[in-house]
């Protein structure tokens, strides 16, 4: 069993915030994979289903970001899980928009949701770090993460969320490389490696071969006179 936790702040006021990208990720997984309706539990909202052969519980803490660990710890203890069974989806300032990395353990880098989870279950859980970019100065961080994604962000955001959903079964199975590949196929689809195609209705021209050098003109050769000396002399006097 795996517990997928999406981090965010509850309520319509925060729904479109950059800080709520974790909520958005688990919502997309629930929608795409036929999870059960959300229900209130563990100071949050949960939904469950099977991904591949693995049972997965989705959790969105309703405690606000800085108290997320209370909800996560309660769910972990109820299902008798360990931190290694938990995957947390969260916004990441240190990654460019649309970038995504999976990490196990490590510090919280000042993220209030991760800090709270560290306090309640320790650091040895998996994180899906979803890049939102950095506003450029630390004094602008709070306003930046608590503001909505811009319209210009919608395309890459949708690709990133779809990629997380595509790779969710692999992540549940513990295959982070396959998960990352699924995300990459959405956010950085491969380009065709072929050259330019000929215009429709026309055949591609084969490269022209150099013309063969012209043969030098043959010199005409005079045939030898077939007459005998006597016949030549006779014909001379006939003139």
User: Over the stretch 79-130, which tens digit does the pLDDT of each residue have?
Assistant: 999 999 999 999 999 999 999 999 999 999 889 999 999 999 999 999 999 9
CATH code, 141: 3.40.50.1470
What percent of the chain lies above the pLDDT cut of 70?
Answer: 80
Residue 100 lies in a domain: yes
Residue 134 pLDDT exceeds 70: yes
Q: What is the pLDDT of residue 121?
A: 97
How far apart (Å, rounded) are the C-alpha atoms in residues 17 and 92?
13
Residue 40 lies in a domain: yes
Residue 222 lies in a domain: no
Its domain, for residue 161, covers 2-187
Residue 31 pLDDT exceeds 80: yes
Question: Edge-to-edge strand order for the sheet containing 2-6?
Answer: 39-41, 44-51, 54-61, 2-6, 86-92, 126-131, 100-104
Q: What is the pLDDT of residue 202?
A: 39
Residue 211 lies in a domain: no
User: Over the stretch 141-198, which tens digit does the pLDDT of each residue have?
Assistant: 999 999 999 999 999 999 999 999 999 999 999 999 999 999 999 999 887 665 444 4
Residue 26 lies in a domain: yes
How far apart (Å, rounded) are the C-alpha atoms in residues 85 and 4?
9
pLDDT, averaged across the chain: 87
Residue 235 lies in a domain: no
Q: What is the pLDDT of residue 191?
A: 76
Q: What is the pLDDT of residue 190?
A: 84
- When divided into structural domains, the chain yields a total of 1
Q: Which residues are catalytic?
A: 19
Q: What is the pLDDT of residue 207?
A: 46
Q: What is the pLDDT of residue 223?
A: 46
Q: What is the pLDDT of residue 8?
A: 97
Residue 179 lies in a domain: yes
Residue 210 pLDDT exceeds 80: no
Name the nearest CA neighbour of 67 among 144, 2, 8, 126: 8
Residue 230 lies in a domain: no
């Amino acid at each position: 069993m795996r517990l997928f936790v999406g981090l965010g702040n509850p309520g319509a006021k925060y729904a479109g915030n950059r800080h709520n990208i974790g909520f958005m990720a688990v919502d997309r997984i629930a929608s795409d994979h036929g999870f059960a309706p959300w229900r209130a539990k563990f100071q949050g909202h949960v939904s469950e289903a099977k991904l591949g052969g693995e049972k997965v519980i989705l959790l969105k803490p309703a405690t606000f970001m800085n108290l997320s660990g209370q909800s996560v710890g309660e769910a972990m203890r109820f299902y008798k899980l360990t931190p290694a069974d938990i995957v947390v989806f969260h916004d990441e300032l240190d990654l460019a928009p649309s970038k995504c990395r999976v990490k196990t353990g490590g510090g919280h880098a000042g993220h209030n949701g991760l800090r709270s989870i560290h306090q309640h279950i320790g650091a040895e859980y998996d994180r899906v770090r979803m890049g939102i970019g950095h506003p450029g100065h630390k004094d602008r961080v709070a306003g930046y993460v608590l503001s909505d994604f811009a319209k210009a962000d919608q395309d890459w955001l949708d690709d990133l969320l779809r990629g997380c959903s595509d790779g969710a079964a692999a992540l549940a199975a513990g295959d982070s490389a396959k998960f990352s590949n699924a995300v990459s196929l959405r956010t950085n689809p491969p380009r065709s490696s072929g050259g330019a195609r000929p215009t429709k209705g026309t055949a591609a021209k084969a490269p022209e071969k150099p013309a063969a050098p012209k043969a030098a003109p043959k010199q005409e050769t005079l045939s030898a006179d077939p007459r005998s000396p006597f016949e030549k002399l006779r014909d001379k006097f006939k003139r």
